[in-house]
Structure 1
Amino acid sequence: MSVDSGQRRPRGAARRDRPSPVRLVGGTLAVWLLLAVASVAWWPVYQDTSMVAAGVTALVVGSLVAVLGAVSRLPAAAVAVATVVGFAATGVPTAVPDEAAGLLPTGRGLVDLFAGVALAWRQLLTVDLPVGSYEALLVPYAVSVLLAAVTGVSVATRASRPELASLPALALFVAGVVVGPSRLETSVVLAVVLAGIALVWALTSRHVRRAVAVAGTTGARVPVGRAVVRPALVGTATIAVAAVVATGLGLVVTPSAARTVARTDVVKPFDPTTQVSPLSGFRAYQRSDEADRTQLTVSGLPAGGFVRVATLDTYDGVVYRVGGPDGAAASGSFERVPTSVDTRDVRGTRVRVDVRVSGYRGVWLPTVGDLEAVTFRGAAADEERSAFFLNRSTGTAALVDGVTGRTRYSLSAVLPDQPTEDELVDARPGDAAVPTPRSVPDAVRDVVRADTDDGTAPGAQLLAVLRALARDGYVSHGVGDDRPSRSGHGADRIEQLLTAQPMVGDQEQYAVAAALMAREIGFPARVVLGFTPGGDSGAPADTTVDDTTTFRGSDVTARIEVDTAQWGWVMLDPNPDVREIPDESEQTPEPVTRPETVVPPPPAEPQEQDQQTPPDADRETPPTQPLWLQVLLAVLPWALGVLGLSMVLLLPAAGIVLVKRLRRRRRRRAPDPRARVVGAWDEYRDALLDGGHDVVPTATRQEVASTAPGSDGAALAAGADAAVFGPADVDDQTAERTWAIADTAIVALGSGRDRRARFRAATSLRSLRSRRPAWSVPSRHAAEPAESASAGPPAAVGGRSERR
């Protein structure tokens, strides 16, 4: 059976026809399946039903927009505008639920929604997982599903190669892996399943397209079972076998190193290494004007409870600080906590305490035990919640903008069970990673050797050195009438503490000395600064009848934590009891059992102390931001939101204009003058199409020019016909004159139109979708009579003759 060429439709007509119901339903369901599987990669990021609601809403809205565009044959610009409108209408209730008024968006919600398209990606990488529906962090997932649904369904229902509809789902999966956790979880199995479904869809689409082409050529029905179903099943079985093998290999052959994702390399918004060590300001609490000043008021704290300010694990011979020598240690990674911290593995007593800040200041937020959740109250609750960061490995919390007198919050935490002293005798060192201390004085090693026996267990040695500190040490803060006592905890001060007779210092020095000695024995150790009733001074706790404890400056203390193989991190008190300090003359000379030590020379590398305040300096106070910076930070989110919305709306139009500019440049700079003349006509013809004029695809140039406004079109058509079919060569001057006529004709087409009409013409896709007749392309040998006949148009096209 032959098909009459005169009855054939233009090549682009098939693409402009409405898709069949079978293709609409089949393509949409295939994209839904692909996107549903790809969305599983995002579940570790959110782990909340709000993600399901946001994903389903975005999927339905995106599919409706794409199907409407396919059925109504809308251009890409109209589909893009419909996508933005659908996103604005449904995005706030699903992606920013805290800012929605029921099912309706609010002004602030819309600002957060569109700002989140650009900003929430980075915020998502700096928040501890899972994030749930915290702030606007659902926006990255919602907008990704929306764009993937619109693109995937549009390709599946409108494109000539529907198998490419799986690419948006693959991009959604990759994005979920990149922003996901660093641990491997189900990515291998999920990737294999997704790739297998995409291959099956591609295989089926290819066989369907081939069957349709055969049916259109032969005019006979092609057996669906033999031509489509059977090859698809065979290919599916092959893909399934390969998927099982690949999954097994991926699960058995595990990667040798931790997975690197975006959150492992992103620069954290809070860097603890830039903060002054809070232990350096220990003596400031003991001054006469601070010792009796109320710092914190805590309700619900058990008797003898400890309030943690900061955990310090890095010693460089000058100070104990947070975060490792370069911030790369686990203790240096602070993340926002959107919901709660998983404490199911912690054995202990669950408590809920309320904290009201009075005189305390600093970036470090006081906490209790192993933090589970924090809730801020008061006028500044929203700002403090956004500025809250937590290091899960040390339990240290921080407010980037600093704690103020307005800070009020509640804590849910677990107080870990602690072993008894008898149980600690059998303690073995744990395997926690703690930065190795630098510039440790030799006196630490000498004291450990003198107070312990080599044959005893590590736990017994640790208890022995702590008992020696409590036996030989005396407490003095060096303020008022106290015995003179140097502040600070550098290597020279610890050397002086351990070699002086009598041993005089305070919790700052004893905690550092105990931590260094624990490291010498083999226990990972760190120093903990905080408040406890009485401050290890023997004074009674200041507790009211309603179970509210008031901490004053004199209640500050420092303790140590050591990691054990049996109980994990255990907090120990290395501080001597407060008692009268004897005079040096009253000390009974004893035989020297410790080897003589000398003060070590200064370290080879100079220590960076420019960021440290003097030991007696006041605790760090966050610098006040200038007014212009505060105004800028307040206006910036709104400006970025407006900018993001403008980019979303204008980006498709800008892309269309750019493509047309490049097309015009290519035509005008063609190497052959004849091609430049034909390009001038093509540019004029495309301007007619974009301006809304009806141009029949099979019409000749003269026929197109006869229906166009103005007289320049006829001259362009004649010049193009002469260049293509005429015997004479075309020179550069003729090409330039033709382009000048084309520019004038194009400008004339837009005259008299308003700005809106000109914008529609500039962003129209009609000329980009239209195909020129094959005979309109200039031939390199068009001047030769023998070949001009074959290169020219047919003698009759649609019943019309072409004059040459």
Structure 2
Amino acid sequence: MTTLAPAPGPSTPGPRLPQSSDHRAHGHPHPPQGSHGTRHDTERSPIRGRGRLASRASLGVLSLVLFVLIILPVGGLSALLAGDNWWWSTVVFVALVLGSAALVRLLPLPAFLSSLAASIAALLAWMIGITVVFAPGTAWAGFVPTIETARALRSGLTAAGESIAVQSIPADPVQPIVLLLAVSVGLLALLADALVFALRMPALAGFVSMAVFAVPYAVHQQDLDVWLFVSTSAVYLALLWAWGRLVHRPRGRRGHTGLRALASGALAMTIAVALPAFTPGLTPESFQAPTRGQLASVYSSGVDPSIQLSQDLRRSNPLLALTYTTTSADGLYLQLVTLSSLIDGPWEPETAGTAHPLEAGYQAPTGLAPDVATSAVTTTVSVSGLRSDWVPVPYPATGITGLTGDWILTPGSLTLTGQGAGSLGQNYTVSSLEVTPTAAQLAAATGPLPGAIAGFTALPRDIAPVIGNTARLVTASAATPYDKAVSLQRYFTSGAFQYSVTAPVEGHYDGGNFAAVATFLSAKSGYCIHFASAMAVMARTLGIPSRIAIGYHPGQASEHNADGTSTFQVFSDQLHAWPELWFEGIGWLAFEPTPGLGIVPPDYSLPSYAITGAGSPARDSAGSALTPTTPKPVAEKDTASNPVIEAQAQAQSQGRAWLIALAVTLVVALAALAPATVRRLRRRRRLSAMMRAPNPASLGWSEVCDTASDYRMEVSHSETARAFANRLAAVYRMPHEPVAALLTAVEREQFARQGAGETGADERAELVEAVRAIIRAISAQASTADDRRAVFLPLSLLAGLPLLSGE
């Protein structure tokens, strides 16, 4: 127990509260603040100088601004969802949450209790609203949630995940998706309300708004909506301004603070909007696809034809991309898109040119003569995990049925581009041709190129010499374009090159351009895009038309059916790139220069083909098969081959992951808020006990000491209450009368004779108010950082050093 000085007599002056200039003394880092820098030491209730009801009602202004701050960025989701009914329903739920909290704050409750009651009311309003709208049949009395309600809502959220997974953009806002919006945005509104009103951290509400604002850009690549960004930022600044005017009104130089805030906010928004327009790497073009139809950079297991294939190839958990059943004896290359503009910069998909709606039908494959042998192939494809603007089809396709949505057919490549449609969830049947030219036909494929094909030999003027020199060296003994193509493929598969998805990760190497080709020929290590790019570019230096196809390699047969067909499963890490070369009278033929994948190259691409002819076993000139000795193992096949079951399992897995993440977040949040909650409850308990305990002043002084400790002032057992009061006054501008009244009462309790007199109810109330006034004075003059440390990291809980007993 701290020894107290004797109580002052009638002639003894009250406690001395000097204003020391040594503000760093006694372990406190902050100077006393004068009239220009201090926060006022009046009550920190919402609005000063007005009636209580008016003060609380004015907080409705903050709620209204917060409502606009949340609902504005929700409108940006229109890029992902069709119609506007989903927006209005989300508006209703946000209004329900924030409105319920605002109404409770109108009630004449203590500040802490008001904030707690408002948050509880908002949570109940959100729960009841969700129940009434989406699961009324499971609720007790139609609105009280039950266990069945939770199950129904969980099922709805799972259905929302499945719907999002299979729909293209813009998606149809079915009821599960509307439920997902109501749940997620409603919870965000709850969080924002708590940040602004309960935790008094309005600046953090901007993160809630930004989380909603960023969703469309994370899901679907698009230009920034400048007006939405500016308006959302303006409302955020308005929230901060309203907070300063209505809740925290610092005494600054009149006429300057508001102007500075306005100028700073306008400058920040101007920089945010204007800077990316002329900063390299931040321009909209830097984040856009090169051509229409380019896939966004965020996908499930999708395809980015700008040749960032490493995303899928480096996945640690490959997903089932598609399943196909075919009449072909072997698996099929499934082509999504072709890259034909192999000039400077990122290589782009082949332009649509004379593209036409799919309904107009297919044309004959380019360059294929009638005397070349072909056989018809029928393939049924079911896409379960590929999100792309193209659908995978074998080349050359002659017809397709079963696709949903609008599709455009590019005649040269015979690829299909969705017009608002996507590949995910599609089930369709493709008719195609298996082209089997003879060795003689391949050897005779020489002569001048047609005008439409000549462009496929274009190269930039400053191409690295190593590319052409290597191509000529490798094909020095080859006589015909076909022989040269075979020699190029054999150069890459002869063992001098190594397949690796980890080597190409720096500089220009991890991508598709001429810098990558030159580096690859030196490093001799890379993955499919490097092999395909190198062979395609080297073929062009020799005058052979070439392009790069991106899609999936054949995969492994999972089942051989009784009707002679085979079913293949293709996973996300089997995304592939390969070169296609053009020969007169035959058209485009696929080659396979990439080793290490367990893929048997086409028979016609092997050196022995010219000797044995079509249909003979394919071996290279060394007599060994080109298939690697460690073929990729076939994945276990089970119900995952059913795309619907696979999608459901994936959605359930994602749902469990979100629940775990939510639980961890809640645990962390509760752990972070626990000290503040315990400290607040201790203060309330003490102030309440002061109205009935025999030593109210001592309890109040203990609270003052603990508050000073929370604000990082040193508190000592050996110091008298009067000495501590003087030291406290040296750091903060203490209200003289409350300190004097409390200190006098403390000394009377400690040193007066027992039974000297009971403390009356009015005097107890005055002591409680004195303690509150001292606490407000300390908080009002501390920095914002110290204020928050005192609230969330109260040292008094750890120190356990109350100056007075009796608690």
TM-score category (smaller protein): 0.3 to 0.5
- The alignment's TM-score, normalised by the length of structure 1, stands at 0.44
- The alignment's TM-score, normalised by the length of structure 2, stands at 0.44
Larger RCO, structures 1/2 (Cα 8 Å, 6+ apart): 2
